Chain A
Amino acid sequence: MTARIQVQREARRGDLIEVRIVIQHPMETGFRYDALGRRTPRNVIHRFECRYGGVEVFRASMGAGIAANPYLRFFVRAEKSGDIECRWVDQENASGTVSARVTVNG
């Protein structure tokens, strides 16, 4: 699973860091049928979490109501230099991770 994360590289302590992430995933609803009339099983990224410096700061539990190639934008408060690390897993247990390093000054 390919994913892209966009985070500013530097921040001042106490600032808000904007995290934007797009994950390539069909977010299969389970309501689609293939050419032979077989139902495509539901498979969505149901769990997404973001850790900053090893501490969980944001978590999402998603369903088929989130569009394909899920996009999320959220905030994290800058505390100390460290990795912003996102992990996710879909219903076929395929998981992915992407991270970005933030340097915090002051």
Chain B
Amino acid sequence: MGRLIARGMRRRSLAALLALFALPRRALAQPIMNPAPGIDARTINTPQGALQSILKGAEMRKGRVRLELPSIGENGHSVPMTVRVDSPMSEADHVRSIDLVSEKNPVPLMASFFLGPHTGRAEIESRVRLNGTQRVTAVAQLSDGSFWFDAADIVVDESACLDGG
């Protein structure tokens, strides 16, 4: 029994290690997303649908946003997350909103944060739930209407949602 568990753990850490090597290529695969205008209600529960409902046909560009997640989250129930946007946060140029989209959670849109010039600095820290190894995307809308994003890949050893938590 003990050996079985040990083997299972070894396999899991091996899988995590392999996943780490697999990530950079995936990161290059989809740098820009440009979904079509119009939102199909049936797709709202997919990551693509969630992104479409945020962008409403607009384009998002990589940059200005920095999403920080640990590369390996031992426990998907509570993963520290920090998102920062490079913005002067002035009346004329500020971040309006930041949305967090998960690739694997049952509800892809995890949270939306609404900011303004009074916020002073576009930086938010929280703790998120993640249902497995996946990519998380943070999309920021600036006051000029443009969308910017960053994505972070995370290996989750113990998923949220699948068990008691």
Chain A interface residues toward B at CB < 8 A: 16-17, 27, 29, 31-32, 52, 55, 57-68, 70-77, 79
Contact = CB atoms under 8 A, between A and B. Distances in A.
B129 A74 contact: no
Contacts of B160: 29
A72 B119 contact: no
B112 A67 contact: no
Contacts of A73: 123-126
B121 A16 contact: yes
B79 interface: yes
Contacts of B113: 58-60, 74
Interface residues of B, number: 34
Given A29-B161, A58-B114, A63 B119 contact: no
18 contacts: A17-B120, A29-B129, A31-B106, A58-B113, A60-B111, A60-B114, A62-B111, A63-B107, A65-B100, A65-B130, A67-B78, A68-B77, A68-B78, A70-B127, A73-B126, A74-B123, A75-B121, A77-B121
Contact of B128 (A17, A55, A58, A65): A65
Interface in B116-143: 116-121, 123-130
A17 B120 CA distance: 9
A72 B128 contact: no
B127 A71 contact: yes
Contacts of B118: 52, 55, 57-58, 76-77, 79
B55 interface: no
A65 B103 CA distance: 11
B110 A57 contact: no
B164 interface: yes
